[in-house]
Amino acid sequence: MKWIVACDRRGGIGKDGKLLVRLPSDMKYFREQTLGKTVIMGRATLESFPGGKPLPKRRNIVLSSRLPESSSYEVCRSVEQLLEMVKEENPDDLFVIGGGQIYRLLLPYCDEALITEIDEIFPSDTSVPLLSSDAEWKCVSKSSPVSENGVTYTFTVYRRIGA
């Protein structure tokens, strides 16, 4: 299982249910990485999408204790149920896409993290742990800096040591 997230220097990922900043190249990267794969999210992340609709051309699984069942996405009520639902899938095809609580909950099951590291600090109310300072994780690749909409960021890949 993999994380895919864009965060600022403090790990901020969102504020008031929205992304911190719009970065078209990051959105393109996200789409390229997740198309045809399984995305795993919480209820609030699903509700933050346009019209509250799941992402097209992906298997959408929502981990939520109170979200009603739907024909357009799958709902699971626990991590154990989630793991059972995806046990036949290639772990490289499973992407955790938010929000903060779901990232934290599923981090122990992830061996890789695709992190767009934004070289700025934004006001945020949702964050993720910084893997750059976590001894269990190692940066295995980092792009050249990208500047867009007045913001500089890099695409990084972290791998769990020993994975």
Q: What is the largest CA-CA distance in the chain?
A: 43
Rounded distance between C-alpha atoms, residue 91 and residue 38, angstroms: 10
Owning domain of residue 137: 2-160
Number of domains in the chain: 1
Given a contact cutoff of 8 angstroms between Cβ atoms, the answer to whether 49 and 55 are in contact is yes
User: One digit per residue, pLDDT tens: the chain, 163 residues?
Assistant: 999 999 999 999 999 999 999 999 999 999 999 999 999 999 999 999 999 999 999 999 999 999 999 999 999 999 999 999 999 999 999 999 999 999 999 999 999 999 999 999 999 999 999 999 899 999 999 999 999 999 999 999 999 998 7
Closest listed residue to residue 79, CA positions, set 95, 67, 63, 61: 63
Q: Under a CB-based contact definition with an 8 Å cutoff, are residues 14 and 128 in contact?
A: no
**What is the model's pTM?**
0.96
Which pLDDT belongs to residue 2?
A: 98
Retrieve residue 13's tokens: 């990922």
Task: Give the CATH number for residue 30.
Answer: 3.40.430.10
Contact 84, 26 (CB under 8 A): no
